[in-house]
């Protein structure tokens, strides 16, 4: 029996708890693209330290987990550099234009019954599913 969904649920509750801490503590919405993007385009200059502290937590805790209790997790990321670059550019551009990604629109938006968050989530899941269907099953490229 596949128990991945239990770990998914546990991990999900922790992700949501992180979002709850950020909201109730600092009064901010936990969106990975917004927190990172504000540092990149300068729009988050006045609270850059807060953003950096958040990112430090996101990087360091998995690093410590990997070095201590867990085995090296496999990311299964494609070795095709062209695909990685194209995907990175699209994700960076798209999440900033849409003002949110899976954490911002998906987790923080849907949980407050935001229509924009729900619509964005439906659109990027459909776009992702269609992309995979075409690139994997029709063209056999990824």
Partner 1 sequence: MRLLLSFSSGGLFGLGLFLSGMTDTQKVQGWLDIFGAWDPTLAFVMGGAILPMALAWQLTRGRAPLVGGSFPASPRQELDRRLIIGSVLFGIGWGLAGLCPGPAIASLSYGGTGGIIFIAALLIGMMAAPPFAQRLDRAAAST
In angstroms, give the least distance from the CB of 1 to partner 1: 14
Q: Closer to partner 1 at the Cβ: 45 or 142?
A: 142
132 near partner 1 (CB under 8 A): yes
1 near partner 1 (CB under 8 A): no
The CA radius of gyration of the chain, in Å to the nearest whole number, is 17
Q: Closer to partner 1 at the Cβ: 45 or 59?
A: 59
Q: Which of 1, 46, 68, 115 binds partner 1 (CB under 8 A)?
A: 115
Within residues 47-106, the interface with partner 1 by CB under 8 A covers: 49-51, 53-63, 65-66, 70, 72-79, 81, 83-99, 101-103, 105-106
d(CA 109, CA 132): 25
Number of residues that bind partner 1 (CB under 8 A): 108
5 near partner 1 (CB under 8 A): yes
45 near partner 1 (CB under 8 A): no
Q: Which residue has the tokens 């899941």?
A: 125
126 near partner 1 (CB under 8 A): yes
- What is the DSSP code (8-state) at residue 28? -
Cα torsion 61, 64, 69, 74: sign: positive
Look at residue 101 and give its three-state secondary structure.
Answer: coil
Instruction: Return the structure tokens found at 12.
Output: 């999900």
Instruction: Return the structure tokens found at 32.
Output: 């990975």
Q: Which residue has the tokens 């954490």?
A: 103
């Amino acid at each position: 029996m596949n128990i991945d969904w239990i770990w998914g649920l546990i991990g999900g509750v922790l992700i949501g708890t992180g979002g709850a801490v950020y909201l109730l503590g600092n009064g901010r919405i936990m969106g990975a693209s917004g927190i990172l993007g504000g540092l990149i385009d300068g729009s988050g200059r006045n609270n850059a330290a807060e953003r950096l502290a958040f990112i430090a937590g996101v990087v360091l805790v998995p690093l410590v987990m990997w070095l201590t209790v867990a085995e090296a997790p496999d990311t299964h990321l494609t070795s095709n550099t062209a695909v990685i670059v194209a995907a990175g550019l699209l994700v960076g551009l798209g999440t900033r234009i849409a003002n949110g990604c899976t954490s911002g629109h998906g987790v923080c938006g849907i949980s407050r019954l935001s229509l924009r968050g729900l619509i964005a989530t439906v659109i990027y899941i459909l776009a992702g599913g269609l992309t995979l269907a075409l690139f994997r099953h029709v063209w056999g490229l990824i």
